[in-house]
Structures are given as C-alpha cells and as structure tokens.
Structure 1
C-alpha cells in the first residue's frame, strides 16, 4: 500500500448527506483538510434534516453497503442498533412475494439494516465526530472554479448572501439528484456529459405505523413485489421495522397506477398489490401520521467516465449525483457507500489524490458497484407499461427471461436463492448469476413445490389473527 501523501491538500465535498459524509471519511486520511459544504444546518442527533424529503420513506441498507460503511467508519452498525435500528438476516428475515412466487426463508447468508433515514444518517455523521481534518461549511455552491482542463474549487454563497471562492485540490459532487455539476461543466467548455434515463413513473407513498401489540421484536421485512411482465401498472407494498416498535410502510406504483397522499385510501391501495398481506397487517396497526408522497424516482446515470480525457481533472461525482436509482430496489445508499469505499481503496493505492489521473480513475471505480445496481433496477423498470427512456432490445429480453427463470427457481432452490441474494445485497457482481452452478440450477428449476402462501412464523400469524383496529383510528 502506498503511504498517503497529504502535504497541503484540501478536498471539498459538495453536500453533507450520506454520500458526501462517506466520501469525506474515505479521503480524510489522504489530505490535510476536508471541507464539507452543506446548505442546511445538520442536526446533532437522529432528527430530521432539511433538504432530505426522501427521509420519510422506507430505507434499507443491504449488507454490501453496510459492510462498506463499517469499513470506512468502524462502529457505525453498533450505533444504528443502539438507536433502535434492526439487523435483519437474509433471507431468513424477509417475507417476499417475487414475480416467480413466494420465497422461502432459508438459513441466513446475508443481512440488511433497517432504520429511519434520520438514524442512518446520524450514525454515519457521528463516525466523523472528532476528526480534526473534517469541517463543515454552511453554504450553497453556485458554480465551479477552474477551466475545461482542471477544476480548482467552487463558488459558495454563505448565509447573509456572502460569496466566497473556496479552492481545493479535489471537488466531490455529492449533491444528489439535484446536482448542477453537468451544467457548470458545460459553462466551462466541457462537452455535455452523456446520460441514460429509464423512468417507470414510480410514485412513492409512505407512512409510519405503530406495530400491533404482541408483534415480535424480530419482525421481518415484508415485501410484495411487482411483476413487470404483467400488462398493468406495477404496485409494490413494503413494511420495514424501524426504531421505537414502529413500521415504516412504503407503497409505490408505476405510471398509471400511482398511490396518492389520501390517508383514507392508503390501505385500500396496499390491498391492490399482488398479495393483500401488507394491507392485512396494517389493518391491525395504528397509523402515526400523514402519508408522504414523492415522484422523483427515475433511474438516471451520468456517464462522466465516457468523456475520457475531455473530462477535467479535480472533480468527481458520487452517489445520486452520478447514478440515481429507483428507490424500490433499495440500492441507493449501498452504491454510495461502495463508491466511497472504492475512493478509499484507490487513494490508498495511489497516494496522490491531486494527480490529474486520480479523478478519472476514481470515477470509473465509483461506477463499478453502481453499474451492477443499475442493471438490477433498469432490467426490471424497462418492461413496465408506460416506462420512458430506452426500450428493451433482444439482449434485454433474453437477460430478463433468464433472470425470471432464476427467480422462479429460487422459490424452491437454495443455490439460486444464494446467488440472487449475493447480487441483490451487492456483495457479488451480476456476473455471478452466470456461474455454472447457478446456470445448472436455473436449467433444473425449483427442487421444492411452490409455497401456496406467505411463509409466516407462528408469532407472525398471531398478529394476523388479532382484532383489526377500531374504526376510530382508520385513515
């Protein structure tokens, strides 16, 4: 490993959310100072923060992402759990209806973290506390400094309308879907960054519930998936256990079948999913607030790496600023975390984050885990009716047919289940699904008969047998 050379080097991170904080953690050992520029005041604890409307929706962090966070900021998983988050074993702790049928709850091989987004972000921010190299600056970036060959910083509008030119050896764009970096680069004479967009028109509607009395502490994730091959809008319903004995419930629908913010229609919409299981559980839980809706869910990938040497050095995009994914697959946080770990590994190998080549190498490294998540998301979304963007070609149809066969096989075959879970948790590349043992399993098909209903434990079934809540609380 190359010894880090950090003489007089500053890194600027634009955005103080999850992706920006993890990028700062990744590169702090390789510079003198990391400046995180954030528009809003960040809370000291696990409270809501401005500028993160998606925080009210369900979030899960697959083990591939959680492992990356723990690598960058040891002790983070313990902080999440101590604040009431859950470590869900997979596939043991998931009740999931796939397009191929109900999955069995085999022995645990992977895991995911479920908690409110406030707890997840706080756990990561707390990991940076005490790092003397990292400081937060409140302000809003308005443009980049430099030229078409090298970026040297950004113009920041501080509170009180004070404008400051802040210089840095490396600028990291972690401003999410709202990033304007591509526009700012074009203003400096950089060619337009190619983009790929696949938009199934997904609308999300989320609400918190108090779990019914007697609900077991080890509550599973309940996930009713859509089937993109049906010639009707896809509807998804999910329950995630979070802190405080609460459930965070997210319902989503593709274009033509979207949920609304109408609280009186919320559970009726859940009942329209491919199984009414989520609606049946909600009828026994108490709603804790209004329904929150978001429509910003398109898969959008900015291909900075395709500019090659035409891309100026000194600037990198990470997280949603580079690859934004449909949240239904739960891969956004994991790909941001794996991208940050890729930054850390590259900086450790090269030892010089200010070299002209570093940004180009880093953008490619960040893109690798994002590419796997992109394939998983768009390989489904491209087939929904009314999906916009690229239309499926022959390769897409053949790939989809194989994945569909593998999902069907996984309903009754452990080899297929392990392979799919390995890829979905982002602990293996999509190429792992072409391993000879997996191909043989798909050819052979499921070894066990299909389940006729959800694989609930006796304790979970007792919740369904409990009385439905009083009409006083409905809606």
Structure 2
C-alpha cells in the first residue's frame, strides 16, 4: 500500500472581486487549494457591498474582456444575459457622439458590449468560481501583511473582522487582487524592497450617476454616449445612458475640473442637458428616477511599475487595479483584469511554481496594461488643468493621428472597425497603424457628419420634443 507524500500546493488570492475571482479560477488548475481572502462579507446574490463604491456607476464590459472571461469561466456570457445583462452590438447598438460627430450605426456588428450592474457582473462570476473544487472563501477577513522577505513571499497574515483574531496562511503563491485600495507598496516596503515607481495622469473627472426606470416603447434600446471633447481650453462634459437588467437605465454624467456635476437630484437632468447634445436629458426627462444621485471622484489613471524594481520576490503577483487604474470613461478595468488572469494561467502553464515564475508573469501582466494605459492617458492629458507628465513628441504625434482617425471613423467603416478593435481591447493598438487603416485615416471623412443622433423612428418617438431633435 503506497502513501502519497507529495506536499499539497496552496495559493492565496487577496480580494474577492472580479480580478480575484478570475485569478482563483485559473489557479484551480495549477494548485491543490486556493483560498480567497476578502475584507467584506460577500452577499449571496447581486447585491451591493462596501468595498466596491464604484459599483454604483456605469459598468460596461467590452467584447475583448468578455471573450477573455468566457475562456476563463465558460458559460459566463450566457449566465449574464440570462440574468438580465444586455448585449449591445457595436456600432449598431450604440448611439455615440464622438469629438468629431455622430457615429453611423451599421451592421454587421464589429464588436459588442455587455451592460449590467457591477453587482450582477461580480455575482455571476463569483457564483461560478466559488463552486469550483479546491476553492475556499474567507470573507469578512482583512489582510494585515505579507509573510517572507525580499526574496520570497511565503504567505499572509490575516485578521477576522468580527472577532479580531489574527492568523497566518502559508502559501506557495500570493496574488494581490485588492484593487485600487491595495496596500502593496507599504507591504513591499516592509519586506525591504525599494519604493515602487508610480505614474499618475489625472484629468480631474468627477462622475454623478442615477438609475431610472426605462421608458416603455422600445424593448432593445441602444447605449447612448455623448462624449466629452478633450481640448485644453475648456472643461469636458459628457453623459452616457446604458440599459441594464430589470428594465432599468443607468445614467452617468461627468465633467472635468471647472465643470463638475453635483450630487443634487435637481441638478442631474440640467447637467445632462449642458453636454454637447441634450439627447440623454430629453430621454430621462420623462423617466422615473429609482435612486438619488451618487458621486465619485475616483477617476485618476495610476500605474505602478513593479517591473522596474531590481528584484522581485518569488511567490508574489499583483494584478488588476492594484497594478493600474484607468479613468472609468474608457471601460477597460474589468477587461484588463481578465487579461491579467489569462497571463497568470499562461505563465503557470509554462513555468509552474518555479522561483523565477512570478517575476516573468508579473512582466507579462505589465504588457497587458500598456494599451489601456496609452488610450486613457493620451486623451486625459489634453483636458485643462490635467495633472501628469506632459506628452512628448511621439505622444503628440499619436494624438494628432488619433484625432484624424476619429474624424474618419464617423463615416468610414475601416477606420471605425480599427478604433473599435482597439477600444474593446480585441486587438493591439499597433494595428491602428496598419497600412490600410493609415491610408483611410489620412484620407479622412468622405461625407459630412450626421447632424442629429442616429435614432430609429421608434427610439426617437420617446423624445418629447415635437421636432424629435431634443
């Protein structure tokens, strides 16, 4: 009778949000046990929780991220849509006023958006991942610090939020997925590592969000997006209306420094009307508000450059918003988290739990940040009083090229597809410079932009103005 003396392998994931759950789903294929440590008590359904205050605002999952999540946790897209999430083909299911005019709605779709409340998105993924064998969830548990030294992390110290009791969890691998509130920098300082280089770009954007009951009359209403105009001479103002589950519209208005919305309910519609087109204000004028206005100022782009440290401890990885946060206007945070989990799986498949694996995986996580970071920061630095490193010559050239492509995309499908492929994180931004795309971009638009929002007759009928223009 033989006895298996092979030691059991253990991974600890810090954070039970989307990034942490996706990482846990990957780890089940590479270690014997995965413990997810979450500070909050997690609800049994799609309910709010304290640790995700941004959940009250618009969340859209671009097709690139949706496909990545589907590959990690098969069945997620079907479960989301069955629970009420709305799938919007793009550009046919999108009414968008870009800085250079209204996009034409056309088929077939080039990419898509999944729209739902953040509570529903998190719950659908959490429910599936926690049902996997080998997953142990410790919610209501705070992380006090890392165990180990500058060469290797060996686990974490945790504290029960109710009893106050402390304990340690030994681990072959610790994954920090605690998001923008991560304490990874002081933790690394405590291990004796040098300070982590950090960069921020802050356009000063503030968000205000309210949920409405959708107007009756159109069952498949599009996403409506009035984008802010990124220019240095005046603040940007924008608004977005997104149909979500249970017959609701979630509407967010946003402005940069000098044009912040307020948290007063009476100001909300007026602010939407002050954007570059009043279509969203016209739509919500007759809609029943279901919530009061909620505000956030947490929109800064911030990136930590772990790859620049001279050494990196074995047994530690940092993913998701703990690595980089982006202005939510671009909708990239959840998609990048999915790609980070993909990097984790690919790296473990190639290197296993070897000491050098985590440094190599951390570098691949860094590469997964680059495109989303570039798209957000090259635009946000253009707003007045934006804080951050001024663009260099190469960045200014890229900005001018993207401005020209945006003009072409209002009517040229080739330019629009290239922009949507990049924006949805379905293709690398390098493809924006492909010869055919560059040629179309240099030619520019071949017709004047649309004067009015490209609404269908039934959609336009919801706007009360007699002329249908708002």
Kindly provide the CA deviation profile for residues 359-393 of structure 1, in whole angstroms up to 9, marking residues without a partner as x: 11111222223211001100110111111121222
Match of 1:470 in 2: none
Q: Secondary structure at the match of 1:284?
A: coil
Quick check: 1:93–1:105 contact (8 Å CA) kept in 2?
yes
Decide which of 132, 148, 151 is 1:149's aligned counterpart: 151
Kindly provide the CA deviation profile for residues 7-57 of structure 1, in whole angstroms up to 9, marking residues without a partner as x: 621111111001100111112110001100001111111111221111110
Offset of residue 449 of structure 1? 2.7
Matched residues, number: 458
Quick check: 2:130–2:136 contact (8 Å CA) kept in 1?
no
Q: What does residue range 452-463 of structure 1 map to in structure 2 within 5 Å?
A: 452-463=451-462
Q: Secondary structure at the match of 2:29?
A: helix
Offset of residue 129 of structure 1? 3.5
Q: What does residue range 140-219 of structure 1 map to in structure 2 within 5 Å?
A: 140-158=142-160, 159-214=162-217, 216-219=218-221
TM (norm. structure 1) is 0.94
Q: What does residue range 63-82 of structure 1 map to in structure 2 within 5 Å?
A: 63-82=63-82
CA distance in 1, matches of 2:403, 2:368: 22
Match of 1:3 in 2: none
Moved over 4 A (4+): none
Q: Secondary structure at the match of 1:296?
A: coil
Decide which of 223, 226, 235 is 2:228's aligned counterpart: 226
Kindly provide the CA deviation profile for residues 445-464 of structure 1, in whole angstroms up to 9, marking residues without a partner as x: 11233111111111111111
Quick check: 2:232–2:382 contact (8 Å CA) kept in 1?
no
Say yes or no: does 1:394 pair with 2:367.
no
Quick check: 2:227–2:237 contact (8 Å CA) kept in 1?
yes
Quick check: 1:305–1:364 contact (8 Å CA) kept in 2?
yes
CA distance in 1, matches of 2:463, 2:349: 52
CA distance in 2, matches of 1:141, 1:48: 21
TM (norm. structure 2) is 0.95
CA distance in 1, matches of 2:308, 2:7: 31
Match of 1:471 in 2: none
Quick check: 2:25–2:132 contact (8 Å CA) kept in 1?
no
Say yes or no: does 1:262 pair with 2:261.
no
CA distance in 1, matches of 2:77, 2:14: 25
Kindly provide the CA deviation profile for residues 112-155 of structure 1, in whole angstroms up to 9, marking residues without a partner as x: 10000111001101211321211111310111110011111111
Match of 2:371 in 1: 372
Quick check: 1:207–1:250 contact (8 Å CA) kept in 2?
yes
Quick check: 2:21–2:126 contact (8 Å CA) kept in 1?
yes
Match of 2:296 in 1: 294
Kindly provide the CA deviation profile for residues 379-434 of structure 1, in whole angstroms up to 9, marking residues without a partner as x: 11011111112122222211100000000000010100000000000001110100
Offset of residue 230 of structure 1? 5.1
Q: Secondary structure at the match of 1:464?
A: coil
CA distance in 1, matches of 2:273, 2:323: 36
CA distance in 2, matches of 1:273, 1:360: 46
Match of 1:335 in 2: 336
Q: What does residue range 299-378 of structure 1 map to in structure 2 within 5 Å?
A: 299-308=301-310, 310-350=311-351, 352=352, 354-378=353-377
Match of 2:418 in 1: 419
Match of 2:114 in 1: 113
Quick check: 2:415–2:437 contact (8 Å CA) kept in 1?
yes
Quick check: 1:383–1:392 contact (8 Å CA) kept in 2?
no
CA distance in 2, matches of 1:30, 1:335: 22
Offset of residue 466 of structure 1? 7.6
Quick check: 1:86–1:113 contact (8 Å CA) kept in 2?
yes
Quick check: 1:284–1:466 contact (8 Å CA) kept in 2?
no
CA distance in 1, matches of 2:430, 2:440: 15
Quick check: 1:237–1:278 contact (8 Å CA) kept in 2?
yes
Q: What does residue range 74-93 of structure 1 map to in structure 2 within 5 Å?
A: 74-93=74-93
CA distance in 2, matches of 1:452, 1:394: 34
Decide which of 253, 256, 276 is 2:255's aligned counterpart: 253
CA distance in 2, matches of 1:128, 1:327: 25
Q: Secondary structure at the match of 1:236?
A: strand
Match of 2:3 in 1: none
Quick check: 1:235–1:273 contact (8 Å CA) kept in 2?
yes
Offset of residue 346 of structure 1? 2.0
Q: What does residue range 36-55 of structure 1 map to in structure 2 within 5 Å?
A: 36-55=36-55
Which consecutive residues of structure 2, in runs of 5 or more, have no partner in the other structure?
1-5
